[in-house]
Structure 1
């Protein structure tokens, strides 16, 4: 079975994250707004009395964007607004922060930074597994010194005028962090929203990432993007995209909200009917008019996130052993003994692959490798199962494909 040419092949999100590489000019987004692309885009909003920077980007991106923005404006940066508490927003703050400007962030930002630092090794290990090779080195992402916000905004947000331009900063707790805000320019009807939608517009949001993160509330996401829709923007600048057209935006934002609401409501209905989590993950599908792409988030993963949001970690369908610290793999050696060895379990796993059942095969090889970690037939069967799974899923979801690629790499096979 042929392996995918690259773990990034066909991944729009990965292409967007890398789109700033080699950028030599800031992109004119109209209305005096300039864009520097990167792991998360930065936007310079120019005025006659100084500029407003929305997101500093990662440290490496900020070093590049400082030069790009200097080409289009000689005015000082008066304010820096952080739309959330991820490194692709705050990582480059030290490049732009001066004694004469101020950094604005939501009141929850410092708390989020504290627990992110408390779990930094855990989160960075998860990020490297998924994004390593896309975003670059950790040292290029994070600051060399912490820059704390000068102004912490309440839930009501804030408004200010600079050089005759009006700015509103609006709290949208359904973003990728609960400190998420958007910047609204009411005169131009332009919204700079960061990663409120994730990196891709009209895609299922990623309510709980594989790298590890606090889960997002489905209904807070719905409420936040409906708040955006009600502003009636004619242009939305996201963390990676420029979306235009009042009617197009109204319809698409409404459709995204309705799709997530649908998944939320059907999940709760299924829970009340006594259905188990995995059945709901298989069964819940949106109607055609609410179908979103699944290149970053996935519908089935959001069913799981919603389930856990409301009911926690215990899944009764998993039975009594779910309450204890003995994993299923603990009986791997016993199963291998009954089967006549780990290689026999691997042989049966290959039979599952012949009938197009890679997940069943993975369950078996995990048992085989628990019994005999260096069993070559089991490693080969696992590799083949992962490759088949990638083909069956279409290989278009960034998290899924990068996870599968990492699992294949971890096998340590010469042809992996």
Structure 2
């Protein structure tokens, strides 16, 4: 009987820290954990660096790797073009002249896409990372690291479309493109002599969880079937060690196959449920409430959530128009009539009382709909704000334990929302 691995693994990412969460994976691989893990593969002819962290993390990763290895770096490979993978490339290039940077051919497009929306996405991500990063930088300063290394936007020296192979110091290295499952330049690194695969965050941030088909920080949709196909690519390699983008490796061919099978089948189950529902005329909310995972393909929901991914699949196929209201086709949002609703209700107190009743009955989402009406029209309404805080605190307690691990993004959103509601800066 399979015991889903997500129940025993950590969930959220954390920035690299000096002398913490680093060490040897085996006799020729060193790991330094961070916003995305950095790995050093040692050979007699030099090292291969996999990912480089955010720019500000690069000196920390260098310090941590140097505790275990002093080999010169010959290559750097990024498993995807996200900023937490390639931000330190130039830092390591400066340390190791002649370092060759290899990436999948979609790297330039993805970096351009990220750069285009940097301001927007940084603001959207701040609710989850801003406070934590402030504390990280304090600890860096205490360790004497005050001249923060900048974020790089590197240009690869070598790119490839489908497959790229090379050898270094007797070690065969195979790079296999799996574009679209995480980014358009995603790849896996396969060491066939040792049956070791490095996947980066190909299956989402934490291993063993349903993929984030769209992130609440703001991103383009990921196609569900592409994500499932990526799992099959890795399964077909039959790895005995899967070295992941976050936290410790996954050990054992049987465990890896079982987990990737569950992941693949969970995606197909949800995807097919959405498609069948669309074809039989069911609306999105109905599908979000109906579709669940069977025990055979149970995976966690610590980063992506089923209800979010069901919506992502729906909208990836059908777009934003739900055919529910003509107002969807125009530019006046519902909040523009919230003051009218309060006036028709005879004042905000009636809506707040109804929201309290919904909350008392455990209908917290319905309570928030009513409270949003009040706060959109009267942002400083003390009674509405107090009840909204209470509802958020209740949802937070549930979110922390939901599906064993809790959801990294939902917990962060609720915590941040409570903070701003209490300070009076959120309407």
TM-score (norm 2): 0.89
Matches within 5 A, 1:321-336: 321-336=327-342
Tell me, yes or no, if the aligned pair for 2:263 and 2:299 is still in contact at 8 Å: yes
Shift of 1:390: 2.3
Does 2:132 match 1:122? no
Query: Where does residue 366 of structure 1 map in the other structure?
Result: 372
Does 2:283 match 1:283? no
Tell me the distance in 2 between the aligned counterparts of 1:76 and 1:172: 29
Among 249, 253, 262, the alignment partner of 1:246 is 253
Tell me, yes or no, if the aligned pair for 2:105 and 2:159 is still in contact at 8 Å: yes
Does 2:293 match 1:295? no
Give the 3 Å change call, closer, same or farther, for CA 406–287 of structure 1 in structure 2.
same
- Secondary structure at the aligned position of 2:220 is classed as coil
Shift of 1:135: 4.5
Tell me, yes or no, if the aligned pair for 2:55 and 2:152 is still in contact at 8 Å: no
Among 14, 22, 38, the alignment partner of 1:17 is 14
Matches within 5 A, 1:157-196: 157-196=163-202
Tell me the distance in 2 between the aligned counterparts of 1:47 and 1:379: 60
Mean Cα deviation higher: 113-122 or 44-53: 113-122
Tell me, yes or no, if the aligned pair for 1:347 and 1:377 is still in contact at 8 Å: no
Among 271, 274, 277, the alignment partner of 1:267 is 274
Matches within 5 A, 1:346-361: 346-361=352-367
Mean Cα deviation higher: 121-130 or 383-392: 383-392
Query: Where does residue 342 of structure 1 map in the other structure?
Result: 348
Tell me the distance in 1 between the aligned counterparts of 2:229 and 2:345: 53
Does 2:424 match 1:407? no
- Secondary structure at the aligned position of 1:125 is classed as helix
Mean Cα deviation higher: 221-230 or 54-63: 54-63
Shift of 1:235: 0.3
Shift of 1:401: 1.1
Query: Where does residue 225 of structure 2 map in the other structure?
Result: 219
Query: Where does residue 31 of structure 2 map in the other structure?
Result: 35
Query: Where does residue 7 of structure 1 map in the other structure?
Result: none
Among 35, 58, 68, the alignment partner of 1:72 is 68
Tell me, yes or no, if the aligned pair for 1:12 and 1:295 is still in contact at 8 Å: no
Tell me the distance in 1 between the aligned counterparts of 2:332 and 2:255: 52
Query: Where does residue 230 of structure 1 map in the other structure?
Result: 236
Tell me, yes or no, if the aligned pair for 2:17 and 2:60 is still in contact at 8 Å: no
Tell me the distance in 2 between the aligned counterparts of 1:145 and 1:86: 11
Tell me, yes or no, if the aligned pair for 2:199 and 2:244 is still in contact at 8 Å: yes
Q: Which runs of 5+ in 2 are unaligned?
A: 1-7, 141-147
Tell me, yes or no, if the aligned pair for 1:173 and 1:221 is still in contact at 8 Å: no
> After superposition, what is the alpha-carbon deviation per residue over 1:18-45, rounded to whole angstroms, capped at 9, x for unaligned?
5x43425841111401101111110000
Tell me, yes or no, if the aligned pair for 2:28 and 2:43 is still in contact at 8 Å: yes
Tell me the distance in 1 between the aligned counterparts of 2:48 and 2:321: 46
> After superposition, what is the alpha-carbon deviation per residue over 1:220-274, rounded to whole angstroms, capped at 9, x for unaligned?
1100111000100000011113101011111111111011111011110000001
Tell me, yes or no, if the aligned pair for 1:182 and 1:194 is still in contact at 8 Å: yes
Tell me, yes or no, if the aligned pair for 1:31 and 1:188 is still in contact at 8 Å: no
Shift of 1:409: 2.0
Query: Where does residue 150 of structure 2 map in the other structure?
Result: 143
Tell me the distance in 2 between the aligned counterparts of 1:286 and 1:345: 36
Query: Where does residue 58 of structure 1 map in the other structure?
Result: 54
Tell me the distance in 2 between the aligned counterparts of 1:26 and 1:355: 48
- Secondary structure at the aligned position of 1:295 is classed as coil
Tell me the distance in 2 between the aligned counterparts of 1:135 and 1:292: 29
Query: Where does residue 5 of structure 1 map in the other structure?
Result: none
> After superposition, what is the alpha-carbon deviation per residue over 1:133-169, rounded to whole angstroms, capped at 9, x for unaligned?
3345899998344321111221x12000000000011
> After superposition, what is the alpha-carbon deviation per residue over 1:332-379, rounded to whole angstroms, capped at 9, x for unaligned?
111111222123312221111110111111111111112212111111
- Secondary structure at the aligned position of 1:223 is classed as helix
Tell me the distance in 2 between the aligned counterparts of 1:166 and 1:117: 34
TM-score (norm 1): 0.91
